[in-house]
Structure 1
Amino acid sequence: MPVELNHMIVHARDNRASAEFFASLLGLEITAEWGPFIAVELNNGVTLDFAAVPPETITPQHSAFLVSEEEFEAAYARILHRGIEHYADPHGKQPGAINHNDGGRGVYFVDPVGHLFELITVPYGGWTSPLHT
């Protein structure tokens, strides 16, 4: 069996608010709730399981999501409509912009907890990279 990512736990102050923020921004739905987890399933079956934890235990993480041009367009429109601070780069030096790395489009934004999320339409290295053939 090949190695595949099944789920990732995302720490949050309020698991419902974080799951709803992420799901609504990307046009996804909350797919399950159990114990301390509220799950949002991605198109490839991987779930992000948002878990409420004490704020002092949250270490911001960076997660990147490969999306279609249409999904990027819709998510970016939501980012603009909601006034979510966003950047063309991970260091926040290009505010209010997107990038065109590897011939695609990309944007970085921070969720309410401080996790850095990235949306890209072309994988790093482009579609012809040996990593993506």
Structure 2
Amino acid sequence: MNRILRWAAAPLAVAALAGTTLLPAASASAATGATAMTTYTIELISLTCNKKQDVDKDEPELFIDGVSKFGPGSMKKGDTAILTGRSATFTGTATMELFEVDNGQDDFLGSAQVTSAQADGNVHVATFDFRNHAKYTLLYEVTS
């Protein structure tokens, strides 16, 4: 009998040591709802080629958290692609990456982090210039 009581008390001791509180089932579900993650949306506006990477036209492709949101396009210096209507949702942070698509291995042009703190009603700018001879500017907004 003592062995059973000792094993039954172990979860209570572990919870106390971890600084957590055990709640009845009804309270636990209420607590879970209070910590739900807010979803944010990245609204893309435009991508501008300030300096191309390739000898001919570039074929840029933009990914947000690994999902293609634009491209591969066909751009030269001074071109702007309008991206309105394209968006991605995230919680916490998202990663935007730009590549120049080639016949062989694609060229990584850079990445930018988007955070929930950017849901401030302003237009934000991400610059992709990781590779020599390449510079792109992305305009976007973050909403909650």
Structure with larger RCO (C-alpha < 8 A, sep 6+): 2
Bigger fraction of residues in helix: 1
Q: Bigger radius of gyration, 1 or 2?
A: 2
TM-score normalized by the length of structure 1: 0.30
TM-score normalized by the length of structure 2: 0.28
